[in-house]
Amino acid sequence: MNRREWGRRLLGAALLAYTALAQATETPVWALDEPMPLRARYLLVGPDGGAVSDEDFRGRFQLITFGYTFCPDICPTTLLDMAEALRQLDGLPVQGLFVTVDPQRDTREVLKTYTAYFDPRILGLGGSPELVARAAANFRVRYARVETGPDPENYAVDHAAGLYLLDKDGLFLRKFAYGTPPAQIAAEIRAYASGE
Amino acid sequence: MRLRHLILSLLLALPLLAWAADGTATITADAPYVRQPPPSARAAGAFMTLRNTGQTALRLVAASTPAAGTAELHTHHEEDGMMKMRRVEAIDIPAGGEAVLRPGGLHVMLIDLHAPLAEGDSVPLTLHFDGGASLRVDAPVRRQIPTADHAPRH
Ligand SMILES: [Cu+2]
């Protein structure tokens, strides 16, 4: 090996190191108060007791919200708006999903009756507290059980509100803030559907 | 003398709190309604605008209803990216002012409903004010409508 060969190797090593360094600095570093990237995956229990995952709805848009049935107006408003958006999108493949953040009280039966009131096409998903926690963590949805009154059974669950839209491949498209009019949600889903 | 004075003030204070001298109520509950809960929901929210036309501030401290096991005064607020529902000790209605109980904010939370509420049902509520005065309100059950276009965001 001559000096020239050595020089080439050194340069190669330096380039490799430089590339590695560049990649390292490109790797996003999430500050604590910055939202973590969203991973739109879930494995939960559906109305019939079987497993339901994000992969079950390939070929359909998914409109997902997290909440609990004890909630007197935030969650009902969100579901009412979801139902109205679905109605306006009639004919487009869109799956509405309600994921409970209160699996202890929101049993399958409770969820089934609850979602049917808004639209029988909306599926209520729950499962073990661990499954729910994992799904919520993937969506960066925070929730916390809080006792509000003298009866510990009548607790509230603080939770992030809003609707999450996934595309037909299950990839996260965007979040709609709580209070977004259903006409706007429907218009945006229609735009995504025509642009694909 | 002191006792007589005390009794007299008590007698005077009670009716004065919610009723004007001419016998008309100084507190009214405008447009009360109960948001119809889905059949399997254990709780429902009651909303209204409380107007105090008197010259004394009023405090709503409790509510009761035969339609549910418990009625609590609640509020909602957004914090740390979460919607939080909390019990409040009282709802103040300033003299000549109002307190608005509306979705996304203050409400009377009816917990453990005895029966599902149908549209058109009327829920009797009794509002209890600091000092002992109370107001009877009949709140019709209403089915909510979806968020309208250009609705203000919370
Ligand atoms: Cu409440």
- Please check whether residues A27 and A99 belong to one and the same domain: no
Q: Which tokens hold the place of A162?
A: 């809003």
**How far B54 CA sits from the closest chain A CA (Å)?**
31
First and final C-alpha spacing in chain B: 56
For the stretch B81-104, pLDDT in tens is 899 999 999 999 999 999 999 999
Query: What DSSP string runs through B67-132?
Result: TEEEEEEEEEEEETTEEEEEE-S-EEE-TT-EEEE-TTS-EEEEEEESSPPPTT-EEEEEEEETTS
Domain that residue A92 falls in? 43-194
Helix axes A182-195, A74-88, angle to 10 degrees: 50
Three-state DSSP at A164 gives strand
Helix (H) or strand (E) holding B141: strand B134-142
Single out the residue of B106, B51, B122 nearest to residue B73, CA to CA.
B106
> What is the distance in A from the centroid of ligand 1 to the CA of B108?
7
How far apart are the CA of A2 and the centre of ligand 1, in A?
80
pLDDT at B88: 96
Same domain, A11 and A72: no
Tracing tokens 């991973």 back to the chain, one arrives at A39
Cβ–Cβ gap B145/A80 under 8 Å: yes
Number of domains in chain A: 2
Residue B87 lies in domain? 2-142
Q: Do A146 and B86 touch (CB under 8 A)?
A: yes
Q: Let me know whether A32 and A47 are in one domain.
A: no
Where does residue A196 rank: exposed (0-12), middle (13-18), buried (19+ CB within 10 A)? exposed
Q: Token digits for A135?
A: 């799904």
CB atoms under 10 Å from CB of B131, counted, come to 17
Gap between the Cα atoms of A2 and A91, Å rounded: 72
| In a shared domain, residues A114 and A50 | yes
- Full-model pTM: 0.81
Q: Domain tally for chain B?
A: 1
A114 in the same domain as A24 = no
Q: CATH number of the domain at A151, please.
A: 3.40.30.10
Q: What is the pLDDT of residue A151?
A: 86
Interface of B with A in 9-68 (CB under 8 A): 35, 37-45
Residue B150 covered by a domain: no
Chain B CB contacts of A180 below 8 Å: 147, 153
Residue B113: what residue type?
L
Angle formed at CA A160 by CA A159 and CA A162, multiple of 5 degrees = 130
Predicted confidence (pLDDT) per residue in A41-80, tens digit: 999 999 999 999 999 999 999 999 999 999 988 999 999 9
Reduce the DSSP state of residue A157 to 3 states and report it.
strand
CA distance A194 to A173: 14
Q: Do A52 and A32 fall within a single domain?
A: no
Q: Are residues A24 and A115 in the same domain?
A: no
**How far is it, in rounded angstroms, from Cα B92 to Cα A101?**
32
- Residues A20, A47 share a domain: no
Any domain includes B147: no
pLDDT tens digits, B11-23: 443 433 455 444 4
- Model confidence at A15: pLDDT above 60: no
Question: What is the CATH classification number for the domain harbouring B49?
Answer: 2.60.40.1890
On whether any CB of chain A is under 8 Å from the CB of B153, the answer is yes
- C-alpha span between B26 and B28 (Å, rounded): 7
Same domain, A141 and A60: yes
Q: What is the pLDDT averaged over residues B22-45? A: 87
Of B41, B72, B87, the CB nearest to A114: B41
Write out A77-134 in H/E/C secondary structure: HHHHHHHHHHHHCCCCCEEEEEEECCCCCCCHHHHHHHHHHHCCCCEEEECCHHHHHH
- Residue A166 and residue A93 share a domain: yes
Q: In whole angstroms, give the CA distance from residue B26 to residue A191.
A: 53
> pLDDT class for B143, splitting at 50, 70, 90?
very high
Same domain, A57 and A154: yes
Domain contains B152 = no
The answer to whether residues A26 and A73 belong to one domain is: no
Q: Can you tell me the distance from the alpha carbon of B41 to that of B29, in angstroms, rounded to the nearest whole number?
A: 25
Q: Mean pLDDT over all residues of chain A?
A: 86
